[in-house]
């Protein structure tokens, strides 16, 4: 008997699963009672070992499943891959009809449907399309619980509908035969992303013993959802960037058309020695990338010379961008030049590309550079030295490849000596200066200019004008032209507008120094002439200042426009200057409204 007991003890000690245990029990059924009683305690130990081995095996299977899910989730980049995991892996562990994933919106108060299962039987429900588009508030008790629950939560669908606790998604699922829901919160660290909802067609179909396993899988699932959300955000940003690029192309095309309209003649008009010397210097500097400083009185054609430099350079196929430093308020110039990031200041609702980026590979023309504030001069100097910019509110350094042409009607060296312009920036810009002579120093070019402007505005206004009389031309040559070519152009435009004959015999112009107005008034033109209703201005004994002449001209144009300053047909449009500049001049000259209304 002792030997039999010892043999059975060895067999029991080797048992590791239920099959072997069942075989042993069958073998000892007919054994003597005293033998069975001797091995009873050892049999209890064998049963405990078998149960422990099965628990270990189950844990190993669960760990293996979690590892497999984790490996697949690590490669998930879109919703299609995520659906395959849900039905491939979870489908082997749980019995369910389909799944739904909802994510928390940026407002942290609402959720939206992130993933709808194509296997769902709800697709034929008339309200199903609403699930993909509607926003659901989380003050709903069920959604709030699903979002914040620390562990999986099971709900009876009929009870939710009966107690009116179900959202649109719950109602649609219930009406399509779903009877049980499992909600699992999805979190990425401390951040709540949303929740997973598993739908079952029968109560108690989802295995309650495996809820801890779905909790572990939900942690990995949260990583997948976070990755997909990040990829979607990246795609949105890429689309936004593409939109900026398209906008940039449109702006470039618009600016190019604007340039073509503004500069519809290809060559600088004039054959005199003064302007020919300027054109020679243009040819000398155009092929290089050296900075150019164009100096000259207002209206002498500084922008036209800058355009000539650009058109003869190797950058001619790229954009030339103009910035009028006098037309912008000091706090906007920096944003205009360098751009800004969204939210960098009040009103910055979108990212904006600055003129340096817009002119990449081309030319940046800084008009009225003498008006630039000192604090911005420092930043401009740094850009010229380092060849890189930073947007306002941004941290990224953006390299630049831009040729700089600056222009001013001020005596810039005197501004440096007065402390209003930085000397280091002056030397940086003054690499190759070009001085444009005023119109009074090149009277030999006036006939060609007059002919050009008459042809331009006669064509524009649909009139047939052959030219001006010798008396008018002589008077134009003797006038001092404080406004230079711009003043001449506006005067010709006004004259063509009023002309009623092919030959202009009268022109209304300010008093001229050292010359009479013979032949310019009604006597010279004839009572039936174009300007018969206008009287020639008397010649004053004293010499008027440029400011007085400019003030008088502004008042005259304001009267012509019936007091309208800006907009189509306004004085600023006729004067070809920004409305802000005109308003500033009106304030400086103390022009009151009763003078022109």
Measuring CA to CA, how many Å separate 287 from each of 283, 320, 434? 8, 15, 15
Flag the least confident range among 333-337, 481-485, 521-525: 521-525
Flag the least confident range among 220-234, 483-497, 524-538: 524-538
What pLDDT is stored for residue 369 in this prediction?
93
Cα(81)–Cα(95) distance, integer angstroms: 20
Query: Does 218 share its domain with 272?
Result: no
Query: Does 333 share its domain with 414?
Result: yes
What pLDDT is stored for residue 233 in this prediction?
84
**Does some domain include residue 397?**
yes
Reported as a pLDDT band with limits 50, 70 and 90, residue 25 is: low
Q: What is the mean pLDDT of the chain?
A: 79
The number of beta carbons lying within 10 Å of the beta carbon of residue 458 is 17
**Does some domain include residue 247?**
no
Furthest-apart CA atoms within the chain: distance in Å: 156
Query: Does 36 share its domain with 141?
Result: no
Flag the least confident range among 241-250, 408-417, 483-492: 241-250
- Greater pLDDT, 5 or 560: 560
**CATH code of residue 574:** 1.10.8.60
pLDDT tens profile 95-122: 788 888 889 888 888 888 888 888 788 8
What pLDDT is stored for residue 58 in this prediction?
62
What pLDDT is stored for residue 416 in this prediction?
92
Structural domain ending residue among the three candidates 21, 37, 61: 61
Q: Which secondary structure element, helix H or strand E, spans residue 174, and what is its range?
A: helix 168-175
- Greater pLDDT, 323 or 260: 323
Work out the average pLDDT over 298-322: 90
Residues β-bridged to residue 367: 324
Going by C-alpha positions, the residue among 170, 236, 225, 232 that lies closest to residue 194 is: 225
Whether 366 contacts 383, CB under 8 Å: no
The number of beta carbons lying within 10 Å of the beta carbon of residue 596 is 20
Sheet-wide strand order for 363-367: 320-324, 363-367, 403-408, 292-295, 432-435
SS percent in the chain: helix, strand, coil, step 5: 55, 15, 35
Examine the pLDDT at 573 and tell me if it is beyond 90: no
- Greater pLDDT, 148 or 428: 428
Tell me the pairing of strands 191-200 and 98-104.
antiparallel
pLDDT tens profile 148-161: 888 888 888 888 88
Query: Does 107 share its domain with 170?
Result: yes
Query: Does 583 share its domain with 499?
Result: yes
Whether the CA torsion 193, 198, 204, 206 is positive or negative: it is negative
Alpha helices in 211-301 (DSSP H): 211-262, 273-286
Query: Does 412 share its domain with 465?
Result: no
**Does some domain include residue 305?**
yes
> Structure tokens of 498?
């009023």
Structural domain ending residue among the three candidates 437, 472, 490: 437
**Does some domain include residue 256?**
no
What pLDDT is stored for residue 587 in this prediction?
85
What pLDDT is stored for residue 437 in this prediction?
93
> Structure tokens of 253?
């095309």
What pLDDT is stored for residue 518 in this prediction?
36
Reported as a pLDDT band with limits 50, 70 and 90, residue 580 is: confident
Query: Does 43 share its domain with 80?
Result: no
Structural domain ending residue among the three candidates 61, 92, 108: 61
Examine the pLDDT at 422 and tell me if it is beyond 90: yes
- Greater pLDDT, 60 or 439: 439
What pLDDT is stored for residue 33 in this prediction?
59
**Does some domain include residue 239?**
no
Q: Which of 64-68, 76-80, 183-187, 221-225 has the highest mean pLDDT?
A: 183-187
Whether 39 contacts 12, CB under 8 Å: yes
**Does some domain include residue 254?**
no
Q: What 3-state class would DSSP assign to 569?
A: coil
Query: Does 211 share its domain with 138?
Result: yes
Reported as a pLDDT band with limits 50, 70 and 90, residue 231 is: confident
pTM, two decimals, is 0.48
- Greater pLDDT, 78 or 73: 78
Reported as a pLDDT band with limits 50, 70 and 90, residue 530 is: very low
Work out the average pLDDT over 444-454: 92
Query: Does 276 share its domain with 425?
Result: yes
Cα(154)–Cα(141) distance, integer angstroms: 14
Q: Structural domain tally of the chain?
A: 4
**Does some domain include residue 67?**
no
What pLDDT is stored for residue 417 in this prediction?
92
Cα(102)–Cα(73) distance, integer angstroms: 18
Whether the CA torsion 10, 13, 17, 23 is positive or negative: it is positive
Cα(16)–Cα(47) distance, integer angstroms: 9
Examine the pLDDT at 65 and tell me if it is beyond 80: no
Whether 253 contacts 246, CB under 8 Å: no
Reported as a pLDDT band with limits 50, 70 and 90, residue 522 is: very low
- Greater pLDDT, 467 or 7: 467
Work out the average pLDDT over 62-76: 69
- Greater pLDDT, 487 or 331: 487
What pLDDT is stored for residue 265 in this prediction?
37
Query: Does 223 share its domain with 98?
Result: yes
Work out the average pLDDT over 270-274: 85
Instruction: Report DSSP state, residue 418.
Output: T
Whether 297 contacts 444, CB under 8 Å: no
**Does some domain include residue 253?**
no
Query: Does 463 share its domain with 538?
Result: yes
What pLDDT is stored for residue 224 in this prediction?
82
What pLDDT is stored for residue 540 in this prediction?
38
Cα(278)–Cα(269) distance, integer angstroms: 12
Range of the domain at 149: 75-234
**CATH code of residue 106:** 3.30.450.40
Query: Does 100 share its domain with 15?
Result: no
């Amino acid at each position: 008997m002792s030997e039999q007991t010892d043999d059975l003890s060895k067999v029991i000690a080797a048992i590791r699963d239920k099959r072997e245990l069942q075989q042993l029990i069958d073998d000892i059924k007919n054994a003597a009672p005293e033998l069975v009683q001797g091995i009873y305690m050892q049999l209890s130990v064998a049963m405990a070992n078998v149960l422990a081995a099965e628990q270990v095996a189950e844990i190993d299977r669960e760990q293996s499943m979690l590892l497999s899910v984790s490996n697949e989730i690590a490669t998930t980049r879109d919703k299609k891959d995520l659906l395959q995991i849900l039905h491939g892996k979870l489908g082997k562990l749980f019995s369910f009809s389909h799944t739904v994933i909802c994510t928390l919106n940026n407002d942290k108060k609402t959720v939206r449907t992130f993933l709808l299962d194509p296997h769902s039987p709800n697709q034929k429900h008339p309200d199903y399309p609403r699930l993909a588009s509607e926003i659901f508030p989380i003050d709903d008790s069920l959604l709030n619980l699903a979002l914040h629950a620390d562990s999986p939560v099971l709900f009876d669908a009929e009870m939710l509908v009966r107690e009116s606790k179900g959202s649109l998604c719950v109602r649609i699922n219930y009406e399509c035969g779903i009877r049980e829901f499992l909600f699992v919160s999805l979190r990425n660290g401390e951040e709540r992303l949303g929740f997973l909802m598993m739908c079952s067609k029968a109560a108690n179909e989802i295995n309650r013993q495996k809820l801890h396993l779905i909790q572990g899988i939900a942690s990995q699932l949260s990583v997948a959802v976070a990755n997909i959300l990040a990829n979607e955000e990246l795609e949105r940003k890429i689309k936004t960037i593409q939109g900026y690029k398209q906008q940039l192309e449109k702006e470039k095309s618009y600016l190019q058309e604007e340039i073509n309209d503004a500069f519809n003649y290809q060559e600088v008009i004039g054959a005199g020695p003064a302007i020919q010397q300027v054109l020679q210097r243009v040819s000398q500097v155009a092929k290089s990338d050296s900075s150019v400083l164009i100096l000259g009185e207002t209206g002498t054609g500084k922008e036209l010379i800058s355009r000539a430099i650009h058109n003869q350079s190797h950058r001619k196929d790229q954009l030339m961008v103009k910035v009028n430093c006098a037309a912008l308020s000091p706090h906007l110039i920096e944003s205009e030049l360098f751009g800004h990031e969204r939210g960098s200041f009040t009103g910055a609702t979108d990212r904006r590309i600055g003129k340096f980026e817009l002119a990449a590979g081309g030319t940046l023309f800084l008009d009225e550079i003498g008006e630039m504030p000192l604090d911005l001069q420092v930043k401009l100097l740094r850009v010229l030295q380092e060849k890189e910019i930073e947007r306002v509110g941004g941290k990224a350094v953006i390299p630049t490849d831009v040729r700089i042409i600056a222009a001013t009607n001020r005596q810039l060296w005197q501004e440096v000596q007065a402390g209003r312009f930085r000397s280091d920036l002056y030397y940086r810009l003054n690499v190759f200066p070009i001085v444009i002579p005023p119109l009074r120093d090149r009277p030999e070019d006036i006939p060609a200019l007059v002919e050009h402007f008459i042809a331009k505005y006669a064509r524009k206004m649909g009139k047939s004008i052959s030219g001006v009389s010798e008396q008018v031309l002589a008077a134009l040559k003797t006038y001092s032209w404080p406004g230079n070519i711009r003043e001449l152009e506006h005067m010709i435009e006004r004259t063509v507008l009023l002309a009623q004959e092919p030959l202009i015999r009268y022109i209304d112009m300010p008093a001229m120094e050292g010359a009479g107005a013979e032949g310019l008034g009604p006597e010279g033109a004839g009572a039936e002439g174009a300007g018969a209703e206008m009287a020639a201005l008397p010649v004053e004994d004293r010499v008027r200042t440029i400011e007085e002449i400019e003030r008088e001209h502004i008042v005259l144009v304001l009267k012509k426009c019936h007091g309208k300053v800006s907009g189509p047909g306004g004085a600023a449009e006729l004067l070809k200057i920004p409305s802000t500049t005109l308003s500033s001049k009106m304030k400086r000259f103390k022009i009151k409204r009763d003078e022109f209304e």
